[in-house]
Amino acid sequence: MARAGAMPESLGHIHPRFLTPDVSTILMGTLSIVWYVGLTIVSENILFDSIAALGLMIAFYYGLTGFACAIFYRRELLRSVKTFLLVGVAPVIGGVVLFGLFGKSIYDFRDPANSESGDSWFGVGPPLIIGVGFLLLGVVLMVIWYAAGHRDFFRRRPEVADPALIEGAPASR
12-37: per-residue pLDDT in tens? 899 999 889 999 999 999 999 998 89
Residue 35 structural domain? 1-42
Least confident of 55-59, 104-108, 151-155: 151-155
Q: Is residue 163 part of a domain?
A: no
**Structural domain count of the chain:** 2
Between these two residues, 162 and 121, which has the higher pLDDT value? 121
Q: Is residue 169 part of a domain?
A: no
> What percent of the chain lies above the pLDDT cut of 70?
90
Do 107 and 138 reside in the same domain of the chain?
A: yes
Q: Is residue 93 part of a domain?
A: yes
Tally of residues, the chain: 173
The mean pLDDT of the chain is 86
Q: Is residue 161 part of a domain?
A: no
Q: Return the closest-CA partner of residue 102 out of 73, 67, 75.
A: 67
- From the number of C-beta atoms within 10 Å of its C-beta (0-12, 13-18, 19+), residue 128 rates as buried
Q: Is the pLDDT of residue 157 over 70?
A: no
The pLDDT of residue 63 is 96
